Structure 1
Amino acid sequence: MTMLEKPCIQSRGFKNVEKNGKIIGFQVNIRSLYYRGLWLPQLRPATVSVDGETFSGDQITWTINGDTYTQAEMSSLGDVHWGILEPATLTVAKEGGLEAGSYDIEVSYTYSCSYFPPVADTVLGAGTHKRTLILV
């Protein structure tokens, strides 16, 4: 089990992603702040901003429990659960990735709950989360 930090955006796991010798993007880990965890169809597509540059839609994949999903396919995966003790890795497609340095990271996502109206979700951890991370 991975020890999680209190903030949604985790400092561990912020790194560039390499494939076939080329940097194809970067990753950031987040944790669910909802005490029950979430089934993937409850999640709404996320956006990730880095120093004001925003990524969304098919630029982002989620890795949960070792399996990777596009944001589009998550709505039909009712048997996949993101637990409160497991980080989710958001992989952002960005040719060349990020250079070493400090970045203001913003992750926005929402989710549905059967017994709360959408506006109340922000109380339960959905919404926009910000954190400054250092890429080495």
Structure 2
Amino acid sequence: MKAISIHPEPVMEILAGKKTKEYRSWTTHYRGPLLICSTAIKTPGCISGHAVCIVDLVDVEQLEEGSYAWIFKNVRCIHPFSIKGQRRLYHVSDERIVEPMRGEFLVEDEEKVVTEEFWQKYYLTLIS
């Protein structure tokens, strides 16, 4: 799967569904599932150095010369895993990505929502 590394604070906002645009100085023709990885920068209240969720990259809008808004939809939790980030888009083996299993999520409004137990076990333990 294609992946991108982003600083920890915006990653937490993406994970919570509050941030739906990521601003970059470069564009991509890629559209589809995108693994969101948090850089290793230690940031209080954030997860650092881990892949934390999947979003769908649905569009890239040019804002002005050299400025682009990447549009994200459909945030999905995964079992977070440690990862060394890279610049630009990069590939992460699909075998490393584990989505929540039955019993680890509920279906609300036709969307999978992880349980409080899942959140505490896999995410809260990683927040610094």
TM-score bracket for this pair, using the shorter chain length: under 0.3
Greater helix content: 2
| Greater RCO, 1 or 2 (C-alpha within 8 Å, sep 6+) | 1
TM-score normalised by the chain length of structure 2: 0.27
TM-score normalised by the chain length of structure 1: 0.26
